[in-house]
Amino acid sequence: MYEIDKQKFGMFIASLRREKGLTQKELARQLFISDKAVSKWETGVSIPDTALLIPIAELFGVTVTELLMCRRMEQEMDAELMESVVKTAVSYPAPKPVRAYQVKNKWGKLYVISLIVSCIEFLISLMGGYVTTGLIVITGLSMAFGGYYCFLAVMKLPPYYDENRISVYCDMGFEMSFPGLAFNNNNWQHILNAGRIWAILSMTVYPVVNALLVSCLQDMWFLELILVLPAALGGIFIPVYVVGKKYE
């Protein structure tokens, strides 16, 4: 069985960190993890999740291969050494994430129905002259975020989210950053559901509200600026933050 030597890995990380003149806290901040996680690496208690290997390598100016081998590689690797690296990488724990579309749930169907309704409402608004900047922005964002939440979001976060207080989540170009909120597997499903509800309601309800406001008000642009847009866009963040803190 080919495995990473945790003690050697920790010593290598510590030496690279010192070369960069970084403290454990500074390194942790740049990787969006806790300094406790860095301490565990350097003492050989644990090793980073595979998702962190490339960021760590780029930060220290080494290759991922050098991280896996726990030393700098000055010469070309021979065939035997290359085989060892490959086997180490293969045995490194990296379970493929399960995404929302791969499990049975109601959200995908609700999203598709809401998307159809939203498109019909948008066409009606277009024909009636009710299309505003706010309508375009909010329906566009809700479609994009809703598509991610309902189909592409991972159903379970990597283990290091449970071991550390991490307030940033990045996946497939999608990024969430909530200072003061720690993402973990206790609150992740609640966060996804909050995002899904916001997206579906925004897609279907906002076009109707927008049409009513446009038909009743002349200075719609001013209302959008001071009330509608902040309130609707805040729906992306406020519910997520509230449920995230509640189940943190």
pTM of the model: 0.64
Instruction: Using a pLDDT cut of 90, give the percent of the chain over it.
Output: 29
- Pick the residue with more confidence: 219 or 156? 156
Task: Look at residue 81 and tell me whether its pLDDT is greater than 70.
Answer: no
pLDDT, residue 1, reads 43
The architecture CATH gives domain 6-91: Orthogonal Bundle (1.10)
What pLDDT shows up at residue 239? 85
User: Whole-number mean pLDDT of the chain?
Assistant: 82
- Position 242 pLDDT exceeds 70: yes
pLDDT tens figures, 127-184: 988 888 888 888 898 999 999 999 999 998 887 788 677 787 877 777 777 888 888 9
Secondary structure, 3-state, the chain: CCCCCHHHHHHHHHHHHHHCCCCHHHHHHHHCCCHHHHHHHHCCCCCCCHHHHHHHHHHHCCCHHHHHHCCCCCCCCCHHHHHHHHHHHHHCCCCCCCEHHHCCCCHHHHHHHHHHHHHHHHHHHHHHCCCCHHHHHHHHHHHHHHHHHHHHCECCCCCHHHHCCCCEEEECCEEEECCCCCCCCCCHHHHHHHHHHHHHHHHHHHHHHHHHHHHHCCCHHHHHHHHHHHHHHHHHHHHHHHHHHHCC
Q: In the chain, which segments carry CATH 1.10.260.40?
A: 6-91
